[in-house]
Amino acid sequence: MNILGIIIIMLKSKTFVKKTRSGGVMKVVREHYLRDDIWCGSEVCAECKQDSTVLQKDSLIESNLCPYPHYLVPDTNVVLHQIDVLEDPVIRNVVILQTVLQEARHRSAPVYKRLKDILHEKEKHFYTFTNEHHRETFIEREPGESANDRNDRAIRMAVKWYSQHLEIQKSNTDGLKIVLLTNDQGNKQKAEEDGLLVYKFEEYIKGLTANPELVDRLALSNDDKNEITTSKVLYPEHLPLSRIQAGIKNSSFLQGTFRASRDNYLEATVFVQGEGEDSKEVLIQGLQNLNRAVHQDVVAVQLLPRNQWVAPSSFVLQDDGAAKDDNVDEDEEEKALRLSAAEAAKKPTGKVVGIIKRNWRPFCGMLNVSQIKESTRHLFTPADRRIPRIRIETRQSATLAGQRIMVAIDGWPKDSRYPNGHFVRSLGGAGDKDTEEEVLLLEHDVPHQSFSQAVLSFLPKTPWAITPEEMKNREDLRHLTVCSVDPPGCTDIDDALHCRELEDGNLEVGVHIADVSHFIRPGNALDKEAANRGTTVYLCGKRIDMVPELLSSNLCSLRSNVERLAFSCIWEMNHNAEILKTRFTKSVINSKASLTYAEAQMRIDDTGKNDDITKSLRGLNKLAKILKRQRIEKGALTLSSLEVRFHIDSETHDPIDLQTKELMETNSMVEEFMLLANISVAQKIYDEFPECALLRKHPAPPPSNYDILLKAAKSKDVEIHTDSAKALADSLDVAKVDGFPYFNTLLRILATRCMMQAVYFCSGMDSDFHHYGLASPIYTHFTSPIRRYADIIVHRLLAVAIGADSTYPDLMDKHKQSALTNNLNYRHKMSQYAQRSSVAFHTQLFFKSRGILNEEGFVLFVRKNAIIVLIPKFGLEGTVFFDSKGKVSPDIVFEEEGPTLKVKHHTFHIFDRVKVTISLDDSNIQHQKIRMALTEPLIPGVSVPAPETEPQAKKPKLDR
């Protein structure tokens, strides 16, 4: 029992005044205890009674500035701006003062988070010294002293204490010293007057003889910037935060998230979140108006007067000028933007007046090496087209050229065309499959490091077997004829099914889901890691697991002929698929067969087969058909998107063939029962926990989303009704055009693009539960706990609901639950994007090996200067441009209503059948893209003659 009087020598009161929200002034008095039991954390020290030490005795970094062993003490600004360098493994033995940590916490949440991560890393030997509560290092703010000056003084005080403290230690034979790092001239001078060792951060890093590459990663500080930039002011000044806040309050400014356009670097939208449905988008056009905002920043915008409003251009415009600072061409490009805009299409337009919060992260991309050979300043082109180019300084341009690198932005002065940044690390050669995969994982923020030791320590011990106690608590379903049906090559089998006839003539149907929540207990490192990852990400030929492989492919996977733990949902149904009884239980199953969709289909179709598994499958199939019919009658949508599958070469891992995924009856059979299980579980957990059930909803899209679909259908004289999901489903069913069998699929593809994203949410935080696509009033995810974290939470909720498990605090906290769903939604979205990028990358690899191809396709969209063509055979979309740079564009007439595009004599409509030639354009190694050129219809000067297709030599290999 500690009673304070024993340790505490002094008690100070901190008194300060604070302005309240209503404008009053309040005096706040806080206690501040000063302690004698705060230790220095150094191995050298014999005086401090510390249990463990963090700072090493022999802390040598090879340096010509400080040839003796030393500890570093950075000040706040060094931490905030140079965190990239501090993160390097070379930098060790650093004292982070509490003053610095607190200031960093107030000023930048991401830096604070990174700093904390470093502090937790054992190899880095970073120590937090609680100087504000140490009796000898605490100082009071003097009258007239600013808070910053006081903090600087507190830092100097702590450094002084440290050096004196270490000097008197007997074991300090090597002359261990303390070095203060600061970039503040005034602070440095005062520290020198106090007799402290102090260096500028740049000085110190440049003095590290063994690690010259660190210099590149220095963030540019103020005095460096002046050299690079010209004196010309390119951008208007940003307003100070106080004026922005005042402006937002009296609604002359709007606050929103800045979203740069992917296709046009001179255009962006700012998404202004309003109350409820009242959100809107503000269009920003032109460099001046964009005013240095970067994608994802939170910005303040001012609306322009109505007569200056413009329409979003349908132009595709890329910033590909070489390292140009002159903006002559740009002016022209900007002019081109403004040219044509129908009065009706004009949108609220504004300009960025200030940045409320930067959302900069390290960006992946490539270096554009400067033409001047000796130059150390280069432009960096991020992989994400929405991010502007970044100017960096490096001496390793020769090695970095042709590599994928990461760069962080440091700042964007108003007289610089591009932001300034610094090099963070290299990822590997561009075009390498591994590097490209790494890039797309990083760009989509997919956590993909291998699992840490802490996480793995929570795995069950192998060999693993079901214990007798476990058996007692579970229902023994090993005698049932359970089987699983999955895509070929699937190793993480999380669902299995069975169906049998009961004595009274009814059917018993069971869905058995891997009991992952049995292995992943709430709150441990394994659980936290899975919660952070949120979902397993499937790339072509690669899987980024959410849980370690032992679980995903072995213990949880419901493989055939082994005993596995399951969470079962069992219905009693009559032959009309009406549910008579539903129950949930934890169980033990023994799957009799792991089938692929095709195998299952063959068994069902093969009338000769009559074993238990086949009978079970037939029963399931029959019920599934009824369920599906019922669902469609209720208005569930069947939408379409083309999914492709690559046949990957087993040795080189290069794609050798590509085909669109085929859907079989058995696919929909499994799907029906999964839907049924999900809906049953959703209802159960919502009944039991109305406040904190984790559900999934799919909001109905706003009517305007359907415009493109309606227009497209109308061009073929087909009427589509969008009043309700049912109306839409019905009208899609009857939409057919004679002699154009693919029309219906195309329409469904378009309809899919009109939909909203389905999201997870916590039932206590929302009132709208409806799932539009499935036409179900309530829905959740229960059936794939191996690859989705949401399902694990649902499992836990359901286990509590049936009394099979106990609850824990976070599960019942709707705010924590809600924060979790936000992460899950984000991860889910990102994993989809990553998946798409991976498909795109493999498509490119594929076309690289195939050479040039001629294919037939359909026009999916019509743009002002291009058409977008879909090739059904490959599920590939591409753009055919009609005006490329440096070529005089043929007379093009774009018609908004329709929309149609007239090129010379030919008019393009949506759904037109065209022939194109496909080739890989690798002129820009970073953005290799599929190039399409028109071969049919023939338009002189526009279309190209169909070239000879694939080289003969490769054929035998490809036909394998």
Partner 1 sequence: MAGLELLSDQGYRLDGRKATELRKFQARMGPFAQADGSAYLEQGNTKALAVVYGPHEMRGSRSRALHDRAVINCQYSMATFSTAERKRRPHGDRKSTEMSLHLKQTFEAAVMTQLYPRSQIDIYVKILQSDGGNYSVCVNAATLAVIDAGIPMRDYVCACTVGFVDETPLADLCYAEESGGVSSLALALLPRGGQIALLQMDARLHQDHLETLMEAAMTACKGVSKVLDEVVRQHLREASMLTRE
Residue among 56, 130, 396, 585 that touches partner 1 (CB under 8 A):
130
State the Cα–Cα distance between residues 341 and 330, nearest whole angstrom.
19
Task: Compose the 281-310 pattern: x for residues touching partner 1 by CB under 8 A, - for all others.
Answer: ------------------------------
Question: Which part of the chain contacts partner 1 (CB under 8 A), choosing from 7-15, 67-75, 221-229, 438-446?
Answer: 7-15
Check binding of 28 to partner 1 (CB under 8 A): yes
Check binding of 242 to partner 1 (CB under 8 A): no
Check binding of 248 to partner 1 (CB under 8 A): no
Task: Compose the 620-659 pattern: x for residues touching partner 1 by CB under 8 A, - for all others.
Answer: ----------------------------------------
Check binding of 23 to partner 1 (CB under 8 A): no
Structure tokens at 928: 């290799």
Contact call for residues 155 and 95 (beta carbons, < 8 A): no
Shortest Å, Cβ 699 to partner 1 = 30
Minimum CB distance to partner 1 smaller for 26 or for 328: 26
State the Cα–Cα distance between residues 702 and 922, nearest whole angstrom.
40
Minimum CB distance to partner 1 smaller for 128 or for 926: 128
State the Cα–Cα distance between residues 585 and 588, nearest whole angstrom.
10
Residue among 133, 280, 347, 542 that touches partner 1 (CB under 8 A):
133
Q: Find the length of the chain.
A: 960
Check binding of 49 to partner 1 (CB under 8 A): no
- Is residue 619 packed enough to be buried (19+ CB in 10 Å), middle (13-18) or exposed (0-12)? buried
Contact call for residues 831 and 535 (beta carbons, < 8 A): yes
Check binding of 35 to partner 1 (CB under 8 A): yes
Check binding of 32 to partner 1 (CB under 8 A): yes
Number of residues counted as binding partner 1 (CB under 8 A): 37
State the Cα–Cα distance between residues 244 and 256, nearest whole angstrom.
12
Minimum CB distance to partner 1 smaller for 134 or for 160: 134
- List 476's β-bridge partners, or say none: 588
Shortest Å, Cβ 514 to partner 1 = 26
Check binding of 24 to partner 1 (CB under 8 A): yes
Contact call for residues 674 and 495 (beta carbons, < 8 A): yes
Check binding of 13 to partner 1 (CB under 8 A): yes
Within its chain, how far is the Cα of 847 from the centroid? 28
Residues 432-471 that bind partner 1 (CB under 8 A): none
- Is residue 129 packed enough to be buried (19+ CB in 10 Å), middle (13-18) or exposed (0-12)? buried
Runs of H (alpha helix) within 585-706:
597-605, 612-634, 665-688
Check binding of 5 to partner 1 (CB under 8 A): yes
Check binding of 190 to partner 1 (CB under 8 A): no
DSSP state of 143: T
Shortest Å, Cβ 31 to partner 1 = 4
Question: Which part of the chain contacts partner 1 (CB under 8 A), choosing from 124-132, 192-200, 370-378, 793-801?
Answer: 124-132
Minimum CB distance to partner 1 smaller for 436 or for 527: 527
Structure tokens at 325: 């600072």
Residue found by looking up tokens 């009824």 in the block: 626
3-state helix, strand, coil in the chain (%, to 5): 35, 25, 40
Question: Which part of the chain contacts partner 1 (CB under 8 A), choosing from 27-35, 85-93, 677-685, 895-903?
Answer: 27-35
- List own/partner pairs for 798-802 with CB under 8 A and 24 or more apart: 798/567, 798/584, 798/681, 798/684, 798/685, 799/517, 799/567, 799/586, 800/688, 800/689, 801/584, 801/684, 801/685, 801/688, 801/689, 802/584, 802/585, 802/586
Check binding of 34 to partner 1 (CB under 8 A): yes
Minimum CB distance to partner 1 smaller for 11 or for 398: 11
Question: Which part of the chain contacts partner 1 (CB under 8 A), choosing from 29-37, 283-291, 451-459, 590-598?
Answer: 29-37
For residue 806, which of 815, 817, 797 has the smallest C-alpha distance? 797
Check binding of 322 to partner 1 (CB under 8 A): no
Task: Compose the 755-794 pattern: x for residues touching partner 1 by CB under 8 A, - for all others.
Answer: ----------------------------------------
Shortest Å, Cβ 16 to partner 1 = 11
Minimum CB distance to partner 1 smaller for 93 or for 261: 93
Residue among 19, 29, 322, 328 that touches partner 1 (CB under 8 A):
29
Residue among 11, 241, 466, 562 that touches partner 1 (CB under 8 A):
11
Check binding of 51 to partner 1 (CB under 8 A): no
Runs of H (alpha helix) within 374-430:
397-400
Shortest Å, Cβ 877 to partner 1 = 44
State the Cα–Cα distance between residues 533 and 831, nearest whole angstrom.
10
Angle between helices 814-850 and 525-533 (to 10 degrees): 60
* DSSP helix/strand/coil, 677: helix
Structure tokens at 850: 């195939």
Shortest Å, Cβ 40 to partner 1 = 13
Task: Compose the 799-838 pattern: x for residues touching partner 1 by CB under 8 A, - for all others.
Answer: --------xxx--xx-------------------------
Beta strand 177-181 pairing with 197-199 = parallel
Shortest Å, Cβ 757 to partner 1 = 30
Shortest Å, Cβ 124 to partner 1 = 14
For CA atoms 283, 288, 293, 298, the dihedral sign is negative
Shortest Å, Cβ 73 to partner 1 = 16
Residue among 50, 53, 128, 296 that touches partner 1 (CB under 8 A):
128
Contact call for residues 543 and 577 (beta carbons, < 8 A): no
Residues 93-122 that bind partner 1 (CB under 8 A): 98, 101-102, 105-106, 109, 112, 116, 119
Check binding of 31 to partner 1 (CB under 8 A): yes
Shortest Å, Cβ 820 to partner 1 = 16
Minimum CB distance to partner 1 smaller for 737 or for 812: 812
Minimum CB distance to partner 1 smaller for 596 or for 807: 807
Contact call for residues 656 and 649 (beta carbons, < 8 A): yes
Check binding of 8 to partner 1 (CB under 8 A): yes
Contact call for residues 368 and 381 (beta carbons, < 8 A): yes
Check binding of 902 to partner 1 (CB under 8 A): no
Question: Which part of the chain contacts partner 1 (CB under 8 A), choosing from 1-9, 766-774, 823-831, 838-846?
Answer: 1-9
Check binding of 386 to partner 1 (CB under 8 A): no
Minimum CB distance to partner 1 smaller for 105 or for 829: 105
State the Cα–Cα distance between residues 566 and 515, nearest whole angstrom.
5
Beta strand 579-596 pairing with 563-573 = antiparallel
State the Cα–Cα distance between residues 372 and 376, nearest whole angstrom.
9
- Cα within 13 Å of Cα(362), Cβ side: 21
Which residues 6+ apart lie within 8 Å of 193 measured at CB?
Answer: none
Which residues 6+ apart lie within 8 Å of 38 measured at CB?
Answer: 129, 130, 133, 134
The end-to-end CA distance of the chain, in Å, is: 77
Check binding of 347 to partner 1 (CB under 8 A): no
Question: Which part of the chain contacts partner 1 (CB under 8 A), choosing from 129-137, 379-387, 578-586, 940-948?
Answer: 129-137
Structure tokens at 216: 């590149």
Within its chain, how far is the Cα of 385 from the centroid? 16
Residue found by looking up tokens 């949508």 in the block: 637
Shortest Å, Cβ 34 to partner 1 = 7
Shortest Å, Cβ 451 to partner 1 = 23
Residues that bind partner 1 (CB under 8 A): 1-5, 8, 11, 13, 24, 26-35, 98, 101-102, 105-106, 109, 112, 116, 119, 128, 130, 132-133, 807-809, 812-813
